[in-house]
Amino acid sequence: MASISLRKVVKRYGTGPKANQVIHGVSAEVADGEFIVIVGPSGCGKSTLLRMVAGLEAISDGEIAIGNQVVNGIDPAQRDIAMVFQNYALYPHMSVFENMAYGLKIAKVPVDEIRTRVDKVAGILELSHLLQRKPKELSGGQRQRVAMGRAIVRQPRVFLFDEPLSNLDAKLRAQTRIEIQKLHRDLNITSLFVTHDQVEAMTLAQRMMVMNAGVMEQFGTPEEVYHRPASTFVASFIGSPPMNLLKGVAGVPATLILGIRPEHLDVVGAGDGNAWAAQVDTVELLGAERLVYARMGADALIVRIEESQPVPQVGQTVHLRPRADRLHQFDAATGRRIDA
């Protein structure tokens, strides 16, 4: 196992004034055994950053260290990492056993040790009864477990996951997330996990790195990122539904944006002097809760209410009291958080 250090890491394509810079000086320290999720929308640079750690992309500037070793100029094969991709990348003509054992065979690991390692990992991943099958005989979830097993048997210092659950349906994604959490608890290997899915990020991460247009917007625990977003981008990207970001609240300077999560707005009576008046546009029923979409002047906002509460009607005016200790302020010019 090993720590990972990102030190002002830059990636640009091309040279000179026309160079396209896609990663802008990312710095972060990942502790030995930590599970880090890199999350952000498509095109934000998260996979590029992962590929630079793997050595599949060259670094334009800065340093990446694995353990105490700077790996900028070191080949991927020499970095002692294992990568799990979105598309599984299994050899179709090989059995599950052969796929899992292939890397060890190339590394000239003794046959008996290969069998021992594969059997142990297959047991952990509940693949023991599938070892003689070919990939075409497996479900998507089973193929992904084989891909993870192939990485695990190598006993690397670092695991790199590049959107490994994207090809699975919602139920399998949830099941596989649980399996990945259990694996990390058992193996305690330093891991970087890339996803665009903020639910995956929130449920898997010990800490998460939120990326936006090649910039690391925030690096912290899921609780820190959710409850104290560093910018309007983080506030709007993390959370489902996202944080309400309001510009037209009476008494708030034009230089500020006010943020409030949908669950931190309480529906109150019309006589509450601290309430905001908003007109209901539509209501979504989501089982145990409802989402009320409303408009307050030029600002749209969402309110989460419990199923036990009365359901407002479309066109009705509702009065909403924000919880004072859950209000957030952001600079309107930069989008960065302002702490009182």
Write down the residue that tokens 């972060």 correspond to: 28
Q: How far apart are CA 183 and CA 277, in angstroms?
A: 49
Instruction: Say which CATH architecture domain 4-235 belongs to.
Output: 3-Layer(aba) Sandwich (3.40)
Angle of CA points 44, 47, 51, to nearest 5°: 140
Contact between 39 and 210 (Cβ < 8 Å): yes
pLDDT score recorded for residue 244: 97
Q: How far apart are CA 7 and CA 340, in angstroms?
A: 30
- In this structure, whether the domain defined by 241-338 belongs to CATH 3.40.50.300 is answered with no
CB-neighbour burial class of residue 123 (10 A; exposed 0-12, middle 13-18, buried 19+):
exposed
pLDDT score recorded for residue 160: 94
220: three-class secondary structure by DSSP: strand
182: phi then psi, degrees, rounded to nearest 5: -65, -40
pLDDT score recorded for residue 340: 66
Q: Write the DSSP assignment of 90-127 as a string of letters.
A: --TTS-HHHHHHHHHHHTT--HHHHHHHHHHHHHHTT-
Predicted TM-score (pTM) of the model is 0.89
- The residues, any chain, with a CB within 8 Å of residue 215's CB and separated by 6 or more, are 24, 26
For 3, which DSSP code? -
Q: Which residues make up the CATH 2.40.50.140 domain(s) of the chain?
A: 241-338
List the pLDDT tens digit at each of the 340 positions of the chain: 799 999 999 999 988 888 899 999 999 999 999 999 999 999 999 999 999 999 999 999 999 999 989 999 899 989 999 988 877 789 999 999 999 999 899 989 999 999 999 999 998 888 999 999 999 999 888 888 898 889 889 889 999 999 988 877 888 888 888 888 888 888 899 999 999 999 999 999 999 999 999 999 999 999 999 999 999 999 999 998 999 999 978 777 889 999 999 999 999 988 787 899 999 999 999 888 999 999 998 999 999 998 888 889 999 999 999 999 999 999 999 999 998 6
Q: Which residues make up the CATH 3.40.50.300 domain(s) of the chain?
A: 4-235
